[in-house]
Amino acid sequence: MTNKENPDAITLPKIKGVVEIPNCGLYAKGPRKLRKLFEWLSQYYDIEDCSKNESYPSPGTWYARIKPSLVHECVKCNWCGSYINPVGVGIHGHRCEICNKITMERFTHNGTIRFRFADDCDISDIEMRIFGYDDATESILLYPNIVSSERCFILTQQQAHKKFKRFSASWQEVERNGQKLIAIPRSNINSVEIIGQKRHYKAVRLFAGKEYDGWPLNDLPVTESYMIYEAWRWAPLRPSPKLHESIIHAAGMVSRVDFYYQDGRRAFDDIHLQRMRRFVHHFTTLDLNEWDRMISQNDLSGPSMIRAIARLCHPNAQVRNKPNISNLIDATAKIADGESLCMNEMMAAADALKNPRICREFIDIMGCGIKIQNI
């Protein structure tokens, strides 16, 4: 993804005979076009021949990745604004090597922590309020009261007290300013969630000497990678029972009916329609007017769109539609909420129920603890 509004943006120039399907790939219509594309790309990208990939060799495919020397991933201290060594920066009490201020406070006063004792196999946690941290003993200091919670997988006060008795060697009572506390060495627990953490640094990336937000935000002024296809080797694609899959995949979508919600909600957005139309226009022998008519008359749900595209591509098109646990979970959730199911949802859920493996997984997920053979 590239921030096109960035005045420093480096955008791919228009090259005749090279078609870009936005965010999905570059397609070269001939070897000379490909060479011209590579001439420009090689300024900023390392280009890999995917036919030589040992795990997934893919002839006629190339992968361009931004040169590592152009992008530097760094950590910036919020106190002094310096770019600092990222090693240990997220550890409680770590200090910036430039200004010596703390970069991370994990155990803040009055924060809460959810944890389990290190050797405990229980799936439920204890929740307690944090007093602070003792650097000398590397222990978390907690107020002695167990936080009462109605949430799933949190022990009640009574259960937590039992747990503290069982793991009595893992903690001790201490006192600070007259306040009785529980001190637990960090190595004696596994924390699941800590609320109230204060982070005094951020991940950033430097490109061409300028700073951009780091992961997960990505506003670099350049597309980070491209898939490149030697389209002249296979285009134009003619009608076939599998042609719809090529068109749908070119738009970055899945071509299996079961993958989508079955209730008719929209799955194909405008960008997907634009990508597919571009692919159909440049790389298939389908009639573009017929394509446009089909799109305008069809709803944009996954199942409906896949079937409509498949019908247009070939009279004997083979649409993939497997039993899928997601459809069973969606249907169950709707029923639990008192909503009714449409026919497609019922059929997809019924298909999933006929599959013993999916039934078993479904019961595991629901935590029923019932063995399928006992049903």
Interaction site with Zn ion (CB under 5 A): 77, 79-80, 96, 98-99
**How many CA atoms within 13 Å lie on the side-chain side of 152?**
1
Q: Which is nearer to Zn ion, 38 or 79 (CB)?
A: 79
Shortest CB 217 distance to Zn ion, Å: 22
Shortest CB 66 distance to Zn ion, Å: 29
Shortest CB 79 distance to Zn ion, Å: 4
How is 197-208 classified by DSSP, letter by letter?
Answer: -EE-EEEEEEET
- How far, CA to CA in Å, does 176 sit from each of 134, 143, 179, 196? 10, 11, 5, 21
Q: Which is nearer to Zn ion, 94 or 278 (CB)?
A: 94
Non-local CB neighbours of 62 within 8 Å, separated by 6+ positions: 47, 48, 49, 50, 227, 228, 229, 230
Shortest CB 75 distance to Zn ion, Å: 10
Q: Which is nearer to Zn ion, 34 or 77 (CB)?
A: 77
Closest CA to 216 of 207, 206, 226, 203: 203
Sign of the Cα torsion 309, 314, 315, 317 reads negative
Q: Where are the alpha helices (DSSP H) in the chain?
A: 31-41, 157-166, 243-250, 270-283, 288-297, 302-313, 325-336, 343-353, 356-366
Sign of the Cα torsion 86, 89, 94, 95 reads positive
Closest CA to 15 of 50, 41, 48: 41
Shortest CB 101 distance to Zn ion, Å: 5
Q: Which is nearer to Zn ion, 59 or 81 (CB)?
A: 81
Q: Which two tokens stand for residue 35?
A: 């060479």
- How far, CA to CA in Å, does 185 sit from each of 79, 134, 163, 170, 191? 29, 9, 16, 8, 12
Q: Which strands sit side by side in the sheet containing 126-134, from one edge to the other?
A: 172-176, 179-185, 139-146, 126-134, 112-117, 189-195
Q: Which is nearer to Zn ion, 80 or 335 (CB)?
A: 80
Q: Which is nearer to Zn ion, 98 or 359 (CB)?
A: 98
Q: Which is nearer to Zn ion, 80 or 271 (CB)?
A: 80
Shortest CB 76 distance to Zn ion, Å: 9
- Burial label, 28 (beta-carbon count in 10 A; 0-12, 13-18, 19+): buried
Q: Which is nearer to Zn ion, 95 or 307 (CB)?
A: 95
